[in-house]
């Protein structure tokens, strides 16, 4: 039998210095503090930043005849839907009507209707006797071409409306067929119901007449007051006189602020600054968080955020749900000189899937040292601040940037006291009785859309993977 070996206590004693003990004399190689919440922040990189002295930026425009191309909001109790009365001011004919009681009466005259996918809501050529509000769902506007072929010319979605000309009176027919693309809930009011109320309420007819007179003023295709010109004439005819009218109350953008107070104990700053400066590392990560919040606000702030400041004429929905190449082409066609497309990374993945289905492979370009995909030569940039809804839908932004291009610009003010970066200051606030130093870190910013067609949004983009 083989002999069994016995391990003695002496054999277990180390015969050289252990690694654990050696580390007490070694200098550890370490990284700077890492932060997972840092993104590429493409929006902050691509926006041209305009110096905003006085903290206010005024956008002067030519006079535009606003007709209330907004969206109507609804409330519901179970399956019963009601129109929010003040939201009826989004209809052109009721844009500036002030009597809330009349609007409440009018809202109560809308009738709820349900349509299955493929059902015709209105048919081209039939009398236009109703006004419709889309509560939920999508409907296709189908027109006729020169050779009598049907073509989808637009999509109506939540909050949009059609047939608003009914409120102005007169006889007419539906120019297009509107067909439900998905299950649709709509609110409908017959013309006769509106006319009955009009006969009962003093001043409502006068308001409608004033609106009709205002809408008859000459406008260009952008809705701006027309500049009278003459061309192609011979001889010595009388030339039209004209002037360029401006908005009397132009919009002003005030700089917003994101702030925090950074606290660092003096003992930490005094004793633990080698090999890395503790205050600098704390400040670096705090500024990263502020810049992330800044980009989030530029997208989502209800006052100046891009999602809320796009003109309603520059918003439209996808035709079928997913972001198809056709939808991207429609988005680009709405404006001149589109410079950038912004979308959530998951939306970009959905775009890639739709392109793959069609055998399309978008090109990539080098942008500031990064390879990014493009569509029709326009860079498609990721932005994780664009929200994704509970129904797995998101939006795609298309923009033209730069003040000289009448595009979208970022606003900030440089030259601040204790400025650390452009538009960002770090101010020492003192040391309290607990020996804690405090620094006020502030970033000032906003964004402005100089003309409506500088920014467009493709809404209701379905980004879930489709089952084959």
Identify the pLDDT of residue 87.
Answer: 87
Identify the pLDDT of residue 380.
Answer: 96
Q: Of 426, 415, 418, which is closest to residue 287 (Cα–Cα)?
A: 426
Identify the pLDDT of residue 16.
Answer: 74
Residue 163 CB-half CA count within 13 A:
24
pLDDT digits (tens, 9 = 90+) for 95-139: 878 888 888 899 999 999 999 988 999 998 899 999 999 988 889
Identify the pLDDT of residue 69.
Answer: 45
Using the predicted structure, report yes or no on whether residue 68 has a pLDDT greater than 50: no
Characterize the bridge pairing of strands 378-382 and 340-343. parallel
Q: Of 306, 68, 317, 346, which is closest to residue 184 (Cα–Cα)?
A: 317
Alpha-carbon distance of 97 to 204, in angstroms, equals 8
CA angle 122, 127, 129 (to 5 degrees): 80
Report whether 229 contacts 218 (CB < 8 A). no
Q: How confident is the model at residue 204 (pLDDT cuts 50, 70, 90)?
A: confident
Alpha-carbon distance of 342 to 386, in angstroms, equals 8
Q: How confident is the model at residue 19 (pLDDT cuts 50, 70, 90)?
A: low
pLDDT digits (tens, 9 = 90+) for 326-377: 999 999 998 888 999 999 999 999 999 999 999 998 899 999 889 999 999 9
Alpha-carbon distance of 109 to 405, in angstroms, equals 46
Identify the pLDDT of residue 308.
Answer: 86
Q: Which has more pLDDT, 326 or 212?
A: 326
| Long-range Cβ contacts of 236-240 (<8 Å, 24+ apart) | none
Sheet of 150-156: strands edge to edge?
Answer: 120-122, 177-180, 139-144, 150-156
Mean pLDDT of 34-62: 90
Characterize the bridge pairing of strands 130-136 and 161-162. antiparallel
Whether pTM > 0.75 for this model: the answer is no
Alpha-carbon distance of 274 to 281, in angstroms, equals 12
Using the predicted structure, report yes or no on whether residue 2 has a pLDDT greater than 60: no
Q: Of 256, 274, 281, which is closest to residue 410 (Cα–Cα)?
A: 256
Q: Cβ of 302: how many Cβ atoms within 10 Å?
A: 9
**Tokens 């609106």 label which residue?**
211
User: What are the residues whose beta carbons fall under 8 Å from the beta carbon of 52, sequence distance 6 or more?
Assistant: 253, 255, 411, 412, 413, 446
Q: Cβ of 27: how many Cβ atoms within 10 Å?
A: 7
pLDDT digits (tens, 9 = 90+) for 282-336: 999 999 999 999 999 999 998 899 998 888 778 888 888 899 999 999 999 988 8
Using the predicted structure, report yes or no on whether residue 52 has a pLDDT greater than 70: yes
In the chain, pLDDT over 70 holds for what percent of residues?
A: 85
- Written as one string, the DSSP assignment of 343-388 is E-HHHHHHHHHHHHHTT----EEEETTEEEEEETTEEEEE-TTS--
Identify the pLDDT of residue 65.
Answer: 46
Identify the pLDDT of residue 434.
Answer: 92
Region of residue 149 (phi > 0: left; psi between -120 and 50: alpha; otherwise: beta): beta
Average pLDDT of the chain? 85
Characterize the bridge pairing of strands 419-421 and 184-190. unpaired
Using the predicted structure, report yes or no on whether residue 242 has a pLDDT greater than 50: yes
Identify the pLDDT of residue 62.
Answer: 66
pLDDT digits (tens, 9 = 90+) for 169-198: 777 889 899 999 888 889 999 988 888 888
- Written as one string, the DSSP assignment of 60-97 is --B-B---------EEEETTEEEE-GGGGGGSGGGTT-
Mean pLDDT of 19-25: 74
Identify the pLDDT of residue 66.
Answer: 45
Give me 98's structure tokens: 């002030």
**Candidate from 149-153, 260-264, 322-326 with smallest mean pLDDT:** 149-153
Identify the pLDDT of residue 5.
Answer: 58
**Tokens 């006085």 label which residue?**
54
Mean pLDDT of 389-417: 93
Alpha-carbon distance of 210 to 204, in angstroms, equals 10
């Amino acid at each position: 039998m083989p002999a069994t070996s016995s391990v003695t206590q002496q054999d277990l004693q180390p015969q050289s210095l252990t690694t654990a003990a050696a580390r007490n004399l070694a200098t550890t190689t370490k990284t700077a503090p890492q932060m997972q919440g840092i993104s590429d922040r493409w929006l902050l990189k691509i926006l041209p930043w305009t110096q905003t002295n006085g903290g206010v930026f005024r956008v002067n425009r030519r006079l535009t005849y606003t007709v209330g191309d907004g969206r109507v909001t609804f409330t519901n109790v179970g399956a019963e839907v009601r129109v929010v009365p003040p939201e009826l001011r989004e209809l052109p004919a009721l844009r500036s009507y002030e009597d809330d009681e009349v609007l409440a009466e009018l809202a109560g005259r809308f009738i709820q209707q349900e349509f299955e996918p493929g059902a015709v809501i209105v048919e081209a050529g039939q009398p236009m006797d109703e006004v419709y509000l889309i509560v939920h769902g999508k409907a296709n506007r189908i027109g006729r071409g020169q050779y009598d072929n049907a073509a989808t010319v637009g999509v109506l979605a939540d909050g949009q409306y059609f047939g608003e000309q009914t409120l102005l009176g007169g006889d007419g027919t539906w120019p297009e067929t509107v067909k439900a693309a998905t299950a649709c809930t709509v609110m409908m009011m017959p013309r006769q119901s509106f006319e009955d109320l009009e006969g009962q309420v003093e001043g409502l007819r006068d308001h409608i007449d004033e609106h009709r007179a205002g809408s008859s003023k000459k406008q260009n295709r952008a809705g701006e007051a027309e500049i009278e010109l003459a061309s192609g004439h011979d001889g010595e005819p009388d030339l039209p006189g004209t002037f360029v009218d401006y908005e009397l109350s132009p919009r002003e953008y005030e700089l917003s602020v994101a702030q925090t107070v950074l606290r660092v104990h003096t003992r930490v700053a005094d004793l633990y600054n080698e090999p890395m400066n503790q205050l600098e590392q704390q400040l670096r990560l705090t500024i990263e968080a502020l810049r992330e919040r800044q980009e989030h606000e530029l997208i989502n702030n209800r006052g100046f955020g891009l999602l809320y400041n796009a003109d309603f004429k520059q918003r439209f929905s996808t035709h079928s749900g997913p972001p198809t190449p056709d939808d991207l082409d429609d988005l680009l066609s709405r404006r001149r000189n589109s410079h950038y497309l912004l979308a959530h990374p998951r939306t970009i993945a959905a775009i890639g899937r739709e392109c793959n289905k069609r055998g399309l492979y978008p090109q990539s370009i080098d942008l500031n040292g990064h390879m990014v995909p493009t569509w029709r030569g326009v860079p498609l940039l990721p932005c994780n601040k664009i929200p994704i809804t509970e129904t797995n839908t998101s939006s795609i932004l298309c923009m033209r940037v730069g003040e000289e291009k009448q595009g979208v610009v970022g606003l900030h003010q440089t030259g601040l006291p204790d400025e650390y970066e452009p538009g960002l200051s770090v101010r020492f606030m003192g040391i309290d009785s607990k020996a804690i130093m405090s620094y006020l870190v502030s970033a000032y910013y906003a964004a402005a859309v100089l003309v409506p067609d500088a920014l467009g949004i493709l809404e209701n983009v379905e980004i879930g993977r489709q089952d084959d």
